[in-house]
Amino acid sequence: MTPDSELLRRFARTNSQDAFGELVKRHVNLVYSAALRQVNGDEHLAKDVAQTVFTDLARKANSLSRRETLTGWLYTSAHFAAAKIARTENRRRGREEKFMREPIPETAPEADWRKLRPTLDAAMHELKESDREAVLLRYFENRQFAEVGAKLGLNENAARMRVERALEKLRAIFAKRGITTATAFVSVISANAVQIAPANLAATLTTASIATAETGTFTLLKIMTATKLKLAFSAIVVAGAATAFVHQQQTQNKLRAENESLQQQIAQLQTDNESLSNRLAAAGDAKSLSDQQMIELLKLRAEVTRLRQQQNILPKTAQSKTNSLPDAEIISLHLKTRFVSFPTDDLQALGVSWTSDTKDGKTGLLTEQQYKVINEALQGASDVENLAEPEAEVPNGRPVQMRATQSVSVDGNSVEVGPVFDVIPYFSTNSSTFNLNFAATLNQLTGDPSKPDIQTIQVTNQITLSSGQTVILEKEIPKGGWLPDSTNIPAESRSLLVFITPTVIDARGNPLNFSP
């Protein structure tokens, strides 16, 4: 007998219908029977499942031709295809109810098969592939142990042992489900697992599977040849296909050029971004960049983000035949922030999963429910100091600064003390996500109250979040820091917590919902 692999290779090379027909004849009973069980005896659905499985076999002939036997692959494919069709058709419940309403006397083997049939295929797929293959060859295809061993690359005794071990595992699976049989377990499976498929089904599947598997120009040309269409109509079809191909090539070339341009812009902006970031690091905690320099840095980061998002959108743009991005200016954003001074030792109790932990501070994301729980806990704690809760409305993609500061005199100079939040928020309607480039700053007094100095705590980052989420920032505050309206100077180590919740709003300030 010619091996399955040789028949499949012959079909893949020469499109031999005879070779494929032989494969279908060999395995149609197995596939049809497995499908029939899972669709609760519906023959029409079982034929649909078989059609799907053998069509997939024809499409994947090249890759599957390296398998020595196709039994396991076909059985598993039938399992998944039947499960999908059964869910869609939803006919099992009606047939089971009908069966329960019309009980009939059964012999012991028939009763045992009734127990096993609904769950046999699911139980088989709990076995590992090698065990499942052994059971299929021995009891579904009723092969001798010597032949099973030859298929699996084992001697006869090794094949026998593998089958017996697989059967014990299968019995255990059924036992866990409370299913036992009065007659011999293997006899029930061997006698009922594979049934005779309807006459002529193999021939029908062979023709339909090969025809369905073929796509594109080859199918079109065969149909045109078979029906002897007029030459003029053929010319129109070919010309239309050629025009579409040229248009597609032009579109792809244009998108490729735009993509390269974006990459160059991103590279230049990243260089500028790194330069400003290095200046920021060199400035130190006590001498941060000026407001103008900070806004310039944030603008650069936002521009990099926008270009990256535009670059990711380009493939989708080609599919939708448009190169236009949503107009950022028509969307407004509401930003709600909250600055909190919190004991560092109690941070773990908040249960935050930090997505970023660097020298610039920690960053995390909270769901709406998580933020609600943390907010309630902070409001009820006596050692929590609420510093400020600034809010702002800003056009999409525009920088904004929120301040809750007061002017104090330090060394004869007027300085702003308190929280400052610089951010460039961007909302993408393509992905329904926010991208925030931000710098949260807290300027505090420190040292002798009669002659104080200034210390600056700053958290900078860039993060993407979904609607309804809240960003949480954390950075430890050096000991001894205080604000003019503080009642005492804390002695313990404390952390600055900053919460940012962005929302998309309309012209009246009402929240808007965007689906991804």
Each residue's pLDDT, cut to its tens digit, for the chain (516 residues) gives 788 888 888 988 888 888 999 989 999 999 999 989 888 888 888 898 999 999 989 988 888 888 888 898 999 888 888 888 877 776 445 544 554 444 434 445 677 777 778 888 888 888 998 899 988 998 888 888 888 888 888 888 888 889 888 888 988 888 888 887 655 667 778 777 777 777 677 777 777 777 666 553 333 334 344 444 344 444 444 445 545 555 566 666 666 666 666 667 666 666 666 665 565 555 544 345 566 666 666 666 666 665 655 555 444 444 433 333 344 446 889 999 999 988 888 888 788 888 888 887 899 999 988 898 888 778 756 678 888 899 998 888 888 899 888 888 887 788 888 899 999 998 888 778 899 988 999 988 888 777 788 888 898 888 999 888 999 999 988 877 878 766 556 667 888 999 999 999 887 788 887 655
Q: What angle do CA 482, 486, 492 make, to 5 degrees?
A: 55
> Are the C-beta atoms of 395 and 402 separated by less than 8 Å?
no
Q: What is the total residue count of the chain?
A: 516
Q: What is the pLDDT of residues 19-50, one digit of tens each?
A: 999 989 999 999 999 989 888 888 888 898 99
| Per-residue pLDDT at 40 | 83
Alpha helices in 15-70 (DSSP H): 17-38, 43-59, 61-64
- Domain ranges in the chain are 4-213, 215-325, 329-505
Cα–Cα distances (Å) from 250 to 236, 263, 498, in that order, read 21, 20, 49
pTM of the predicted model as reported, rounded to 2 decimal places: 0.41
d(CA 91, CA 443): 69
> Are the C-beta atoms of 458 and 440 separated by less than 8 Å?
yes
> Are the C-beta atoms of 312 and 259 separated by less than 8 Å?
no
| Per-residue pLDDT at 472 | 94
CB atoms within 10 A of CB 165: 12
> Are the C-beta atoms of 415 and 408 separated by less than 8 Å?
yes
How far out from the chain centre does Cα 426 lie?
A: 23
In the 8-state DSSP scheme, what is residue 102? S
| Per-residue pLDDT at 366 | 92
Q: Which residues contact 316 (CB under 8 A, 6 or more apart)?
A: 430
Number of H helices, E strands in the chain: 16, 12
| 3-state class (DSSP) for residue 327 | coil
| Per-residue pLDDT at 305 | 61
β-partners of residue 408 are 415
CB atoms within 10 A of CB 346: 15
| Per-residue pLDDT at 227 | 42
Q: Which residues contact 385 (CB under 8 A, 6 or more apart)?
A: 340, 341, 342, 486
Phi-psi category of residue 487: left, alpha or beta, with phi > 0 → left and psi -120 to 50 → alpha: alpha
β-partners of residue 366 are 470
- 490 closest CA partner among 284, 286, 346: 346
- 24 closest CA partner among 165, 145, 202, 177: 202
Q: What is the gyration radius of the CA atoms in the chain, in angstroms?
A: 35
Cα–Cα distances (Å) from 251 to 238, 257, 309, in that order, read 20, 10, 20
Torsion sign across C-alpha atoms 235, 240, 243, 249: negative
d(CA 282, CA 296): 17
d(CA 38, CA 123): 12
Which DSSP string do the residues of 381-444 spell out, in sequence order?
A: -TT-EEEE--EEEEETT--EEEE--EEEEETTEEEEEEEEEEEEEEEETTTTEEEEEEEEEEEE
| Per-residue pLDDT at 491 | 67
Greatest Cα pair distance, the chain, in angstroms, is 104
